[in-house]
Amino acid sequence: MSDRMKLPPEKDCGFYQRRKHDKWREVAPPDPPLEGPVADSHAHVHSLPDPAWELVRCAANNVRFVCEICDPSEDTFDIPGDARKWQAAALEELQALALVRRAEPSNPKETQAPQAPRRAQASSSPGLLGQAASQEEAQALNCIQVRSFPQLSGQSTSKTPDLPIMRITAGVHPHNAKLYDDEVEKLLMKWLEAPETVIVGEIGLDYHYDLSPRDVQRKVFRRQIQIAKELDMPISLHLRGGDPEPASSVERGSAGSQHQTEGPEAVRAGETPVSASGLAPASEPNAAERPAPASTIEPPALTYSNAHREAFEILQEVGFPSRGTILHCCALPPEELQPWVDAGCYIAYGGTLTFKTADAAREGARIVPADQLLLETDSPYMAPEPMRGAACTPAHVIFSAARLAEIRGIAPGPDRERFLAQLMENTRRIFGLD
């Protein structure tokens, strides 16, 4: 693991920024605390050292939903078994933490300056828990007081933090399009059959790194859109880049298999290249299947990214899935973003909004209707300010939530509470949680 992907050696529910010489500085959460729960719509939880503990950190910071991203061409998962094991282990962590807190002496000063709860030593034997803790389980943990969780200190002290509900997004990333074959598709279809898997993604076009040939990226993108339409599922898009078609795009498609943390999006490459030349393009849909508004919208202008323009044109041809489309890790300026907004897409924002150089992304975030906005982290990448330099975790979404509200001119208090409630409603709608 690179230095930029490290987490602090002592795990608790707080936040720490990595400094020089492997030193760590504690970072305060948004102040005042967020008025309601938030959701992380895009995270690679499996890439974190301890997924179960990160779910505990989410519970402590009022993150109520996390979507795990899986790629059948490179990830070795038991879908959905691994996610269930993480949640079962997280529940045991909460139970152990409850015993620790109950044994501690009462301290009146703690409600004024509470300390983040330290990790309890507990068994992590796997169990089955496909969603948030039940009401009975929550009541069994009522000895965990909200004062134990500083990020919830502004809320009712009668509420016990809940583990986040988890869902899964599965698809072949454009970096790995060259690996797409019948066996990969077979595994993808198996994963998509799991009740916890609710979105096809992240799919799309990446012309920045060109780790798969562009013609293969387009074929695989079309195919996965068609799969989503056949299964009546939403899609989540990864779109990036726009320099001219490189003459050696095939040769450049054999880079390593790890994300990089530099730049506005993480990098994930495949392993040994596998020909996808025999992949049949998706069939053309009937005109009635296409959303009427999207078919007449002018594609984005080629100022930043022809990947976005080509993807939009492909979606107009094949048809936007009726269940919805998420534009993941959005950093587009208003003029390029507007067609996606007009097409009814959900626009997901994460750490990029907090970057000093991301003025275009912030301008774009102001034009998106509130009922089309989502929050994400792309954990363990794209850590927001003030957490740059450390691995991003799903709980970091609270920093992006506070920044998004600020960008849109929404002050802390009742207005921000309503805004956060709208974001949670958007999450429930696109992920089918209602």
With cut-offs at 50, 70 and 90, classify the pLDDT of residue 107.
very low
Residue 111 has pLDDT above 90, yes or no: no
Contact 74, 268 (CB under 8 A): yes
Residue 145 has pLDDT above 60, yes or no: no
Q: What is the mean pLDDT of residues 391-400?
A: 97
Average pLDDT of the chain? 78
pLDDT for the residue 296 = 59
Q: What is the mean pLDDT of residues 50-54?
A: 94
With cut-offs at 50, 70 and 90, classify the pLDDT of residue 160.
low
Q: What is the mean pLDDT of residues 297-323?
A: 82
Q: What is the mean pLDDT of residues 16-21?
A: 84
Task: For residue 64, give the amino acid letter.
Answer: R
With cut-offs at 50, 70 and 90, classify the pLDDT of residue 392.
very high
Q: Which residue has the tokens 């072949």?
A: 172
Please choose, from the candidates 281, 246, 252, 287, the residue with its C-alpha nearest in 3D space to the C-alpha of residue 269.
252
pLDDT for the residue 259 = 38
Task: For residue 144, give the amino acid letter.
Answer: I
Distance of CA 170 to the CA centre of its chain: 12
pLDDT for the residue 283 = 36
Weakest-pLDDT range from 1-10, 135-144, 160-169, 346-355:
135-144
CB atoms within 10 A of CB 319: 23
pLDDT for the residue 379 = 97
pLDDT > 70: percent of the chain: 69
Domains of the chain: 32-430 (3.20.20.140)
With cut-offs at 50, 70 and 90, classify the pLDDT of residue 80.
confident
pLDDT for the residue 299 = 63
Sign of CA dihedral 26, 124, 268, 131: negative
pLDDT for the residue 164 = 96
Per-residue pLDDT tens over the stretch 313-335? 999 999 999 999 999 999 999 99
With cut-offs at 50, 70 and 90, classify the pLDDT of residue 19.
confident
Q: What is the mean pLDDT of residues 167-195?
A: 97
Residue 109 has pLDDT above 50, yes or no: no
Q: Which residue has the tokens 């999207």?
A: 294
pLDDT > 90: percent of the chain: 60
Distance CA 52, CA 316 (A): 40
76-85, 196-205, 255-264: which has the highest mean pLDDT?
A: 196-205
Residue 151 has pLDDT above 90, yes or no: no
pTM: 0.78
pLDDT for the residue 12 = 81
pLDDT for the residue 163 = 93
pLDDT for the residue 95 = 78
Per-residue pLDDT tens over the stretch 199-242? 999 999 999 999 999 999 999 999 999 999 999 999 999 999 97
Q: Which residues are CB-neighbours of 135 under 8 A, at least 6 positions away?
A: none
Q: What is the mean pLDDT of residues 119-133?
A: 34
User: What Cα–Cα distance (Å) separates residue 16 from each residue in 9, 150, 296, 320, 330?
Assistant: 10, 14, 48, 41, 26
